[in-house]
Amino acid sequence: RIWRRKRMARGRLLGRLALGATAGVGGMAALASQDEGVRRSLTFWSRALPIYAHYRWLQYVELPLRGVDLASAESERRYNELHERYAPRVEKLALELRGFYVKGAQIVSMREDILPEAHLRWCKRMQAEVPTPFAPDESRRVVEEALGGAEAFARTFLHWDDEPLGAASIGVVHRARLARDGREVAVKVMMPGIERKFRSDIGTVKRFCQLAMPQHVSALDEVEAQFFSEFDYVLEARNMARVHANLMPTRWARRVAVPAPLLDLCSHHVLVMELLPGEKLDVGLRSQWKRVAARRGISLAELEAAERAKPARPLGEGAWVHALALALVRAADVCANLGRLAYNWSAGLALGRLPYSWSELPAPLSSILRLLCEVHAHELFENGVLNGDPHAGNVLLMPDGRLGLIDYGQVKELPLDFRVRYAKLIVALADGRNAEAVRIATDEMGLRTRRNDPEVLWRVLAMQHDRDTDDVTMGLNLQLFMEWAEAQDPMEYTPPDLVLPGRVTMMMRGFGNAFRLQLSVAKLWREQAVAFLRAQGEL
């Protein structure tokens, strides 16, 4: 039904494509030699528009003319041909332009159901494998300038590692050792000129969405405002200090770690923080999966495909069986090492000790995901200071078993009155009181669609802030679901404060979906939401 409505708009869409290609690209070409932002926009449009047009041509012209149903295996085969053809080109474009395009790839890679497999593969690589555009000594020069020169740099750092620990969308991170106390620190260095590029890129992407995905434009406005907080490392350091102060003196310190920033060394382009040991969550899980695949005699791609083919299971299902299995493995290891222990404390003292042997235990994904959900609920309800970018590349698996939460470029302070209303919304969604959830969102929070259709509103609210199971999405993937909602009852206004919490819940679910774990964020957040409402006298 969705696609039949869209076919009626075929001529109108293709006309817009032709007009956009002629006026947009032609107009920008006149300015491209004088303005970097225009050059970047022209590069994007000149490469992205033909790709988009080819996809739409297949959807609206080629397949209908051949009588191929869009839900058929033949349609899927033709789309997969386009995906494999264009994924390398889009990846090359993102790496060439970097900026917002890399950040966007990181965001969409958190969801397994947004992108086809060919595009998802390269977007996932953007989480941890972004090549640095810096020359080896360029970061050092930026830090020297921020500190007041080469002599100040030498007084500040006892050691500086020119090889970056990692690269991201707007900068790189280096390891260093402080001269004043010998502490190891992580130094985050912003790429010169990146803010100007980001502003241009987001404007370009918004114009593209107006053409291709108009249902996402309103949310992009809040995303745009939130992204620009990333370009002030002093602000990020202060946000990090606030979250550190909120979490580390509490019970959460036993399970998570937030680095402490060194505010006296931070500036607009440089952030110095405590270095947390550990491996990034996505890297650690991928390494673990590679070893599992090797033991089974298959490739990593084959293992991932086999896992994706399994039906998703609710978070926590079979958790006790998993915990028991891990306990038995560890008990077997202890028994196996008893002989070595006895030897090491007898003959081994003279002849040399034997190493202990421990089985590699898989990362407890359910526990990790539950912990991430719970700690972000605490940030939202208890503190009102929410980290909006908790993707797997920003989480460390620390040697002591804690999770390191390391990036605070997108932190939003949520006012108390909003948090009260949002807590009520979460409780209503968790309890299945759909009409009440719609009433809170529309009457109390100001969410508005063209017709305020209660069914569409409930499904959109549930998808954005709770779960994306088939009873909500009607079996559609995320993109098709949003197109359905836009066709049924277009969104006219989304309260800005709703955007970031919704993004966090979708990131959490995206991480779960990647490992075939289904979760209801509202149910996981319900306990803390109720406690918060009681503390505020609302229950």
526 and 390 in a common domain: yes
Q: H-helix or E-strand containing 491?
A: strand 491-493
Q: Which amino acid is at 538?
A: E
Rounded Cα distance between 146 and 123, Å, is 33
* E strand map for 250-407: 256-257, 270-274, 279-280, 313-314, 385-387, 395-397, 403-405
Residues 243/408, Cβ–Cβ less than 8 Å? yes
Residue 112 inside a domain? The answer is: no
Domain final position from 42, 76, 97: 97
Residue 212 inside a domain? The answer is: no
Strand pairing report for 395-397 and 403-405: antiparallel
Determine the structural domain holding residue 264 and report its residue range. Answer: 138-194+226-278
Residue 313 inside a domain? The answer is: yes
377 and 520 in a common domain: yes
244 and 291 in a common domain: no
CB under 8 Å to 18, separation ≥6 — which residues? none
What parts of the chain have a pLDDT lower than 50?
A: 1-33, 320-322, 325
296 and 259 in a common domain: no
In the three-class reduction of DSSP (H, G, I as helix; E, B as strand; rest coil), residue 395 is classed as strand
Looking at residue 498, its pLDDT comes to 95
517 and 383 in a common domain: yes
Q: How far are the Cα atoms of 185, 222, 274, 277 from residue 179, in angstroms, in the given order? A: 11, 41, 14, 20
178 and 44 in a common domain: no
Per-residue DSSP letter, 441: I
Looking at residue 362, its pLDDT comes to 54
Strand pairing report for 256-257 and 270-274: unpaired
pTM assigned to the model: 0.77
Domains held by the chain: number: 4
Domain final position from 237, 263, 278: 278
Q: What are the φ/ψ torsions at residue 194 (nearest 5 degrees)?
A: -70, -30
CATH number reported for the structural domain that contains residue 167 in this entry: 3.30.200.20
Residues 113/468, Cβ–Cβ less than 8 Å? yes
505 and 413 in a common domain: yes
Residue 199 inside a domain? The answer is: no
Residue 231 inside a domain? The answer is: yes
Residue 84 inside a domain? The answer is: yes
Rounded Cα distance between 411 and 244, Å, is 13
Rounded Cα distance between 433 and 435, Å, is 6
Per-residue DSSP letter, 70: T
Q: What are the φ/ψ torsions at residue 31 (nearest 5 degrees)?
A: -105, -5
265 and 293 in a common domain: no
471 and 336 in a common domain: no
508 and 387 in a common domain: yes
